[in-house]
């Protein structure tokens, strides 16, 4: 596979959509765990059982339309910008050098965070909706209805609530996920002897990058979820203080296991899909 081939911008977004179809229930359980203030905190199995018990199988796919929209905005942008900058600004040798990859990944993640913020808010709200009391549910019909109602009921500026944390998360996620994937893949080829076109290579590199991304992004991900789901529009510092007071400082790693259970498969599927698109040169 030539690194000089200019692949379509939409590869990462498409991979994200495919991954979303398989991992949405895990993402739902993760959001419920992150917003839960119940002590002792439930496990991902207990949370999944609770969702099944109260909402049925369909409940595991609550907010799917928002999840897909998020992939079509956030994931498409961050992967697309990263690949574009890497292909057009870096030489072949620089594409496996962290000091070049890190800056472009941070830029890509930041842009993705801005573009994907509205869909991320709707995604979190729709996923958490059935976990609320009936009088507090928003009952968005779909992602676009959610965006419309936020603009109508709260003002368009609320679509960018939590943008600071989403920007940070976008930067951290993209830099830890795609850069680690590229570097790990290069290391496995050069030092371990993996075939550069084998699925074993793609699988190993993606699961390791998913592990790294989960650990790095967990704190900001928990905080971002709570900010976006907050119905009282409290200041960020108040949300942080209340969380620490009620749950202790380790609340920032709440839901780490379901985050990895979700992000691991999600990362694997995204990169496997993208690598297959590249192998068959779809849309080139």
CA gap 111, 35 in Å, rounded:
26
Tell me which DSSP letter residue 65 carries: H
pLDDT tens digits, one per residue of 53-66 = 888 888 899 899 99
The CB-side HSE value for 155 (13 A sphere, CA atoms) comes to 5
Residue bearing the bigger pLDDT, 63 or 30: 63
Q: What is the mean pLDDT of residues 224-252?
A: 80
Residue bearing the bigger pLDDT, 186 or 30: 186
Closest among 15, 6, 163 to 79, alpha carbons compared? 15
Find out whether 214 and 264 touch, Cβ atoms under 8 Å: yes
Topology (CATH level 3) of domain 11-279: Mitochondrial carrier fold (1.50.40)
Q: What is the mean pLDDT of residues 206-231?
A: 84
CA gap 137, 87 in Å, rounded:
45
Q: What is the mean pLDDT of residues 135-150?
A: 94
* pLDDT for res 1: 35
- Burial of 200: CB neighbours in 10 Å, binned 0-12, 13-18, 19+: exposed
Q: What contacts 22, CB < 8 A, 6 or more positions away?
A: 265, 266, 269
* pLDDT for res 218: 82
Residue with tokens 């190993």: 204
Find out whether 67 and 30 touch, Cβ atoms under 8 Å: no
Residue 191, SS3? helix
* pLDDT for res 168: 87
Q: What contacts 130, CB < 8 A, 6 or more positions away?
A: 51, 54, 55, 59, 62, 137
pTM of this structure? 0.85
Domain range list for the chain: 11-279
* pLDDT for res 215: 86
* pLDDT for res 2: 40
pLDDT at 16 over 80: yes
* pLDDT for res 231: 67
Q: What is the mean pLDDT of residues 191-196?
A: 95
Which pLDDT band holds residue 43 (cuts at 50, 70, 90)?
confident
CA gap 107, 175 in Å, rounded:
9
pLDDT at 3 over 70: no
CA gap 184, 165 in Å, rounded:
27
CA gap 53, 217 in Å, rounded:
30
* pLDDT for res 173: 93
pLDDT tens digits, one per residue of 68-82 = 999 999 999 999 999
Q: What is the mean pLDDT of residues 141-164?
A: 94
């Amino acid at each position: 596979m030539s690194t000089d081939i200019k692949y379509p911008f939409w590869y990462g977004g498409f991979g994200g959509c495919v991954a979303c179809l398989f991992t949405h229930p895990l993402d739902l359980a993760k959001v419920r765990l992150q917003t839960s203030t119940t002590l002792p905190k439930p496990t991902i199995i207990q949370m999944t059982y609770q969702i099944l018990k109260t909402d049925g199988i369909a409940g595991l796919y609550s907010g799917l339309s928002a999840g897909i929209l998020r992939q079509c905005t956030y994931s498409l942008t961050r992967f697309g910008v990263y690949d574009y900058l890497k292909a057009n600004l870096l030489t072949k040798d620089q594409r496996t050098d962290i000091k070049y990859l890190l800056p472009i990944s941070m830029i890509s993640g930041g842009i993705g965070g801005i573009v994907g913020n509205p869909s991320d808010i709707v995604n979190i709200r729709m996923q958490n909706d059935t976990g609320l009391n009936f009088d507090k549910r928003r009952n968005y019909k779909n992602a676009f209805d959610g965006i419309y109602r936020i603009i109508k009921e709260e003002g368009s500026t609320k679509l960018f609530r939590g943008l600071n944390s989403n920007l940070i998360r976008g930067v951290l996620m993209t830099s830890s996920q795609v850069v680690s994937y590229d570097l790990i893949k290069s290391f496995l080829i050069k030092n371990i002897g993996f075939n550069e076109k084998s699925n074993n290579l793609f699988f190993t590199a993606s699961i390791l990058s998913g592990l790294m991304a989960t650990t790095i992004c967990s704190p900001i991900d928990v905080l971002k979820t709570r900010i976006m789901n907050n119905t009282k529009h409290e200041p960020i510092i108040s949300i942080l203080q209340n969380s620490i007071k009620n749950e202790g400082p380790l609340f920032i790693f709440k839901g780490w296991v379901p985050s990895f259970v979700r992000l691991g498969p999600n990362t694997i599927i995204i990169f496997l899909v993208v690598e297959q698109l590249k192998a068959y040169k779809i849309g080139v």
